[in-house]
Amino acid sequence: MKIIYASDDNYFTYVAVSVSTLLKSNSQNPIEICYIHQDVTEEHLRLLSEIVEKRGMEIELRQFDMPPVLEDLPAFAASKTTWAKFFFASMFPDDDRVLFLDPDTLVLDDLSELFKLDMGGNLIAGVPECLPAYHRRASKLSESDVYINGGMVLCNLAQWRAEGFENRAVDRLHETKINLNYDQGVINELCKGRVLRLDARFCVLAEMFYLKSAERLSKRFGFKQYYSQSEINEAVENPAIVHFTGFLYLKPYSKNCTHPYAPLFWREAEALALGFVANESELNKKQRLRKHVLDTFPFRCFLALEWVFDFRRSYLLTKGK
């Protein structure tokens, strides 16, 4: 099982915690980890190597340099490592399938079944992202197309190579000047109609934990085809991968994060002796308003408020050429 992480030094604590939980939950599986890094300190790289080697597994530390063909792209993200996934087919020529995980994840169960799935001709697999429909439209997807969260992507590299995916990606990245949620929108667009939807428990988003209802999730994010309530219940109660997408919880770098799995993150970080200290950041005014309306009033009031906010969000996402 080849598992890939990518980040700069700002997200190192997240990477270390996620890797540690991955190794604990998959101790019976042979795992190769690759950490694609940029501007990460030598001390942090050494610490990560020790975490992995103590579990008897292997890790490759790979410095990421922005490919020259992409140097003129706008900096959609603070860390350029976000673009690395488009080059996985050539970066890992001996692997037909790899799993990419965002740093802000916890791995709590066996992932081996993901490497046994028949992906057919699908290019990627993942869990639908909890974003309003205009995000899908911006990526030229129809209501029936699957648009997955980019923090957990199972990549069919054998198929990528067969179809020249890397060249297609470079061409599209040069062509668009629209901020399509960084790499996430572009990879979903390129894989249109060739995306395998996984069980929700393989990437349980903060929105799932907070809303809990398949009906509410469908109404808020405009899903025409979504998981059943029993599938959402299973994901929330027995997650394989938790992805800290924030929503109205904040993320665990804040002491004020109320995500149900934040305490586990903090305990793991402390056990690893990473020197991590959570900050005092809080929900901003808009988030506090959204949370108050959601927690206090009928759900239709929350939907109406979000509908108003979505006007500006839609413009900010798609402005440009």
pLDDT tens digits, residue range 235-255? 999 999 999 999 999 999 999
pLDDT at 135 over 90: no
**Number of structural domains the chain divides into:** 2
How much is the pLDDT for 139? 87
Rounded distance between C-alpha atoms, residue 305 and residue 299, angstroms? 10
How much is the pLDDT for 72? 65
185 and 292, same domain (yes or no): no
pLDDT, tens digit (0-9, with 9 covering 90-100), for 48-90: 999 999 998 989 999 988 777 776 655 545 567 888 999 999 9
296 and 224, same domain (yes or no): no
How much is the pLDDT for 181? 63
Average pLDDT over residues 159-188: 84
221 and 294, same domain (yes or no): no
Q: Is 181 left (phi over 0), alpha (psi -120 to 50) or beta?
A: left
314 and 229, same domain (yes or no): no
How much is the pLDDT for 321? 38
How much is the pLDDT for 137? 87
256 and 197, same domain (yes or no): yes
Average pLDDT over residues 103-127: 96
pLDDT at 309 over 60: yes
pLDDT at 8 over 70: yes
Average pLDDT over residues 97-121: 96
How much is the pLDDT for 270? 95
53: Cβ contacts below 8 Å, ≥ 6 apart: 59
112 and 91, same domain (yes or no): yes
Residue 104 sits in a domain of what CATH number? 3.90.550.10
Contact between residue 122 and residue 157 where contact means Cβ atoms under 8 Å apart? no
Answer with the residue of higher pLDDT: 308 or 75: 308
Rounded distance between C-alpha atoms, residue 29 and residue 194, angstroms? 28
214 and 230, same domain (yes or no): yes
How much is the pLDDT for 155? 98
How much is the pLDDT for 60? 95
249 and 307, same domain (yes or no): no
240 and 321, same domain (yes or no): no
Answer with the residue of higher pLDDT: 27 or 320: 27
Task: For residue 305, give its domain range.
Answer: 283-321
288 and 142, same domain (yes or no): no
Contact between residue 37 and residue 68 where contact means Cβ atoms under 8 Å apart? no
pLDDT, tens digit (0-9, with 9 covering 90-100), for 217-241: 999 999 989 999 999 999 999 999 9
Helix axes 12-25, 262-271, angle to 10 degrees: 90
Average pLDDT over residues 182-191: 89
Answer with the residue of higher pLDDT: 146 or 83: 146
How much is the pLDDT for 78? 54
What's the per-residue H, E or C state across the chain?
CEEEEEEEHHHHHHHHHHHHHHHHHCCCCCCEEEEEEECCCHHHHHHHHHHHHCCCCEEEEEECCCCHHHCCCCCCCCCHHHHHHHHHHHHCCCCCEEEEECCCEEECCCCHHHHCCCCCCCCEEECECCCCHHHHHHCCCCCCCCCECCCEEEEEHHHHHHCCHHHHHHHHHHHCCCCCCCHHHHHHHHCCCCEEECCHHHCEEHHHHHHCCHHHHHHHHCCCCCCCHHHHHHHHHCCCEEECCCCCCCCCCECCCCCCCHHHHHHHHHHCCCCCCCECCCCCHHHHHHHHHHHHCCHHHHHHHHHHHHHHHHHHHHCCC
79 and 146, same domain (yes or no): yes
168 and 223, same domain (yes or no): yes
pLDDT, tens digit (0-9, with 9 covering 90-100), for 199-219: 999 999 999 999 999 999 999
Calculate what percentage of the chain has a pLDDT beyond 90. 76
